[in-house]
Amino acid sequence: MNNTPKMVDENSSAAATTTVSHHHDASLYDDDGRPKRKGTVWTTSSHIITAVIGSGVLSLAWSIAQLGWIAGPIVMIFFSLVTLYTSYFLADSYRVGDPVTGKRSYTYMEAIGNILGGKNFIFCGIMQYMNLYGTAIGYTIGAAMSMMAITKTDCIHSSHGKNSCHVSGNRYIIWFGAIQLLFSQIPNFHKMGLLSILAAVMSFTYSLIGLALGIAQISENGTFKGTIAGAEAETQAKKVWAIFQALGNIAFAYSYSNILIEIQDTIKSPFEVRTMKTATNVSIATTTAFYVLCGCIGYGAFGNSAPGNLLTAFDKPFWLIDIANLALVIHLVGAYQVYSQPLFAFVEEQATKRWQVTGKEHKIQIPFLPSYNLNTFRLVWRSLFVVVTTFIAMLVPFFNDILGVIGALGFWPLTVYFPVEMYIKQKKMPKWSGSWIFLQSLSMFCLLVTVAAMIGSVVGIIVDLGAYKPFSASL
């Protein structure tokens, strides 16, 4: 076995592997020495649904507008089926070898290292962390747009609709970055329980408000808007780019495969695989129904003019829209950290291995609060991370384009390629067999979809940059 997977094994053992023999009561611990896992179908389903339903839901109406009434829902169902299918493969990859007694993998990257190893481990790390970094940029833009929307809605209401209320966005991007400077000093993922729960509640809050407002708008219109072919464009090429970008946005809405192994690690033994597959069925069905409903209601309400962020289309009742946008901001504060903490941990772990001094902490007493362990490297590196993401968000504040790029980066490698390759390796599937040909064909097709989504999103950024002055975001 090569050096890279060995490094993964050592990390996992150092992190949490205490042998059962060291404990007084072995019945309280699983086969790896960790406390008994208690996850069920319902807790696992809730974890998945919470992870999936996020700010990507707000761009679905725009995505359907580019695809039209027929292609839009079909594409969403296609992505859901691919995600469901490959999630089964990930469930089978939680343990190496025997599905009941085999060695556990605690993270997505560790599963890649244990099963595929070598260059696949490195490629996975690059794609996963690029995806996480891009998500932080996208969330910064999304939060700023919602803060801008609150200001604009209140301005329109106070002027009784007489003022168009142009709002500049840079200060809101900077405000969000300032908030993240503070929260980024949370030491690790395990200290984020309350923030994650609050973020999950907020995600359902603004999604349901957006859905309710869309239904009310359709009722006011007296009809469903939209067309079979979707929004028109100035040229055929621009129409193609918009369709490709919509594919990336929908892929982003389903981009959660890189945390499924972590979720499976919470399930009660020895039923991890069966429970995970059942929970995946429940959560993907629930999420897809919710996505199709939100996307179609948003498109039906605004037709081909559906905005990239659905909440920005409403201006009354202003108080309800403010609640939705505030919920989105709070959710993105937590979501930013959820997606950034794995990257923080990876960089700090590698730095400590090379330069032990970077792991040194200094205890600081804070009046009326528990003491805080200050790490100079963590303070500088994480602050620099937030500053750079904030700068890029100000430079390229294109919510839909960024989501498309992130979705494209994550969909094929993390949702399709690695799960398929791990499944083939685990099952010792012979080359050129019927199953092997089918899985490789699926992987290649999804690669083409990913390339198309990436091209469309990059072209979208280039086109937007042509008519945009840097650092002048507005709503």
pLDDT tier, 316 (very low <50, low <70, confident <90, very high otherwise): confident
pLDDT tier, 36 (very low <50, low <70, confident <90, very high otherwise): confident
- Considering only residues 75 and 256, tell me which one the structure prediction assigns the higher pLDDT: 75
Name the class of domain 41-467. Answer: mainly alpha
pLDDT at 288 over 60: yes
Mean pLDDT of 205-214: 88
Please report which residue ranges of 28-163 form alpha helices under DSSP H.
41-52, 60-92, 108-115, 118-158
Q: How far apart are CA 187 and CA 168, in angstroms?
A: 34
Q: For residue range 437-465, what is the model confidence (pLDDT) as tens digits? A: 999 999 999 999 888 888 887 887 787 77
Q: How far apart are CA 474 and CA 326, in angstroms?
A: 18
Mean pLDDT of 77-94: 91
- The pTM of the full predicted model, rounded to 2 decimals, is 0.77
* 419 contacts 262 by C-beta, under 8 angstroms: no
Most confident of 142-146, 306-310, 344-348, 424-428: 424-428
Of the candidates 166, 199, 86, 145, the one whose C-alpha atom is nearest the C-alpha of residue 401 is 145
Q: How far apart are CA 63 and CA 275, in angstroms?
A: 33
**Average pLDDT of the residues of the chain:** 81
Residue 118, number of CB atoms within 10 A of its CB: 14
pLDDT at 322 over 80: yes
Mean pLDDT of 143-161: 83
Q: Give the DSSP H/E element, type plus range, for residue 361.
A: strand 361-364
Most confident of 90-99, 255-264, 336-345: 90-99
- Residue 316, classed as helix, strand or coil, is coil
pLDDT tier, 64 (very low <50, low <70, confident <90, very high otherwise): very high
pLDDT tier, 15 (very low <50, low <70, confident <90, very high otherwise): very low
